[in-house]
Amino acid sequence: MKRFASFAAVLCLALAPAALVSAAPKDYKVIYKADAEPEEGSQMAEYLVSLLGSGNAVADSEAAGGPERRIEIVNSGNMSLWEYEAYSRKGSIVIDGGGEWALRKACELLAGKLKDARVARGIAFSGSVEGEVLFDRSEGSDLRILVDNIWDYSKDTIPPAWQRLGVDCRDAVRAPQYAQMVRAYMPDVLALQEYSSHMDAEFLPRIAEWGYVHTTTGSDGNWNNTPIFYNSGKVEVVDCEFVLYTPKKWSNHGSKSFTSAVFRRKEDGKLFALINTHLWWKSEKAQPGSIQARAAQIRLILAQAQCIKARYNCPVFVTGDMNSEEDTLPIRQFFEEGFVPCYRAATVYANMENGHHICSPGDGFSRVSRRKGADRKTGAIDHCFIWNAGDTEVKVFDCITSYFTVPLTDHYPYFIDSRL
């Protein structure tokens, strides 16, 4: 990481007297790069303004020079995704970070310093959010489930489209970023799809440091591409099952399956269950019978949910890439059995994005979505349901749309905060 600017700020502090000046937050104008991604530009500037309690956010293309104090938010490209620094420069303060989460942390630290009516003339600090837990659970929730289809790209070469973009999509590069996302949100349970043994070798050792364990890696020589991991410090497995969809014609070489697990929370002994799946993927046009194949796979999930209810009578969550929109035959079966989408059940907040964007070997990546529907109800193929809820309350359903997730997979991760 280059630290020339922050070193200069520290040097100025060392040479100058420790004078203190009035620097009330209202004195600052927050400047962001007009061409930056919103999370690192306009939204980040507005976030800092909200932390300060006053001021205004202005794009650099519209920010005329003037006597007012300025805070500039930039991503110089000199840092890793997780690093940040802040320093004084010619009467302004510069926040530089490698990505959204790093910039967010720097804004929070800076706001804390500036809220003091008297601060040191020179601002100089730096750090990294790598390995930090960053996102608190919603108020009153005590269970977090994190879900994603992480794109099986188990190759050791970089596709030409990605080379042109200057981005490495190999598992060795993506796995540390996925691991940091898990750490940042620290779910009780993690459910993935398209999870290869190749990715497992890169990913599992990292999250194992924080206590995460496989429920099952598969059975009868079949690798589990739809695994469930759990935080062993928070919950324990009561029951677990892995089911590979058959016949293999509809399992895509054994990658389509479901994993079912019943958990007991260590703190209070409460039970909950999760069924995580990936359904057959082709369209009816591409392969006749595909809709009925997905419908049949969902019927197996419904039967498994009934077995869990009969034995444990606990709330059941169903998550996964179902390759079907909400208003289709396969998904309607959930509604007929009383399953409720978590975005509808959420009492505090629900993100309505369809959760899908371009990311493939041939196309590279972008935020453009090719789904026919723009929102979750009409365009989503990743679903999350709750059933037999009892007193369980879903509070938040949210997609993680930070820009760094876009090159990781064509599915935005999502999480559910609930109160058991």
Q: Could you report the per-residue pLDDT of 68-112, keeping only the tens digit for each?
A: 689 999 999 999 999 999 999 888 899 999 999 999 999 999 999
Structure tokens at 195: 């999870």
Amino acid at 101: W
The pTM assigned to this predicted structure is: 0.90
pLDDT(2) > 60: no
Task: State what percent of residues in the chain have pLDDT above 90.
Answer: 82
Locate the domains of the chain by residue range.
4-128, 143-419
Choose between 17 and 152: higher pLDDT.
152
DSSP 21: E
- Separation of alpha carbons 29 and 49, rounded Å: 9
Beta strands in 75-211 (DSSP E): 83-89, 92-97, 118-120, 124-128, 143-149, 189-193
16 three-class SS: coil
Q: Do 308 and 271 touch, CB atoms closer than 8 A? A: no
Cα 148 from Cα 191, distance rounded (Å)? 7
State phi, psi for 388 to the nearest 5 degrees. 55, 45
Average pLDDT for 390-401: 97
Answer whether residue 372 shows pLDDT above 60: yes
**Single-letter code of the amino acid located at 237:** V
* pLDDT tens profile 147-164: 999 999 999 999 999 999
Residue 146, both tokens: 């994190």
Helix (H) or strand (E) holding 262: strand 257-265
Tens-place pLDDT, residues 305-317? 999 999 999 999 9
- Give the separation between CA 324 and CA 379, rounded to whole angstroms: 9
Topology of the domain comprising 143-419: Deoxyribonuclease I; Chain A (3.60.10)
- Beta-carbon contacts of 201 under 8 Å, excluding residues fewer than 6 positions away, are 171
Give the pLDDT confidence score for residue 14 in this predicted structure: 32
* pLDDT score for 90: 82
Check residue 248 and give its pLDDT. Answer: 82
Paired sense of beta strands 56-59 and 92-97, if any: unpaired
322 pLDDT higher than 60: yes
Domains 4-128 and 143-419 share a fold: no
Residue of 99, 115, 188 lying closest to 404 (CA atoms) = 99
Which CATH fold would you assign to the domain 4-128? Chitobiase; domain 2 (3.30.379)
Q: Are 359 and 151 in contact (CB under 8 A)?
A: yes
The SS3 call for residue 43 is helix
Compute φ and ψ for 130, nearest 5 degrees.
Answer: -60, 130
Closest CA to 329 of 305, 293, 302: 293
Helix (H, G, I), strand (E, B) or coil at 10: helix
pLDDT tens string 164-173: 999 999 999 9
Alpha helices in 314-401 (DSSP H): 329-336, 342-345, 376-379
Helix axes 100-114, 42-52, angle to 10 degrees: 20
At a CB cut-off of 8 Å and minimum separation 6, what does 126 contact? Answer: 1, 3, 6, 83, 84, 85, 86
For residue 27, the 8-state DSSP code is G
Return mean pLDDT, the chain. Answer: 91
Model pLDDT for residues 326-355, shown as the tens digit of each residue: 999 999 999 999 999 999 999 999 999 999
Given a contact cutoff of 8 angstroms between Cβ atoms, the answer to whether 320 and 383 are in contact is yes
Q: Report the C-alpha gap between 31 and 362 in whole angstroms.
A: 37
pLDDT over 70 at 119, yes or no: no
Tokens of 202: 């890169």
Directed axis angle between helix 329-336 and helix 290-312, to 10°? 20
Q: At what angle do helices 197-208 and 171-185 cross, to 10 degrees?
A: 40
CA-based angle 215:194:387, to the nearest 5? 60
CB 64 within 8 A of CB 79: no
Identify the bridge partners of residue 324 per DSSP, sorted by sequence position: none
- 359 near 367, Cβ under 8 Å? no
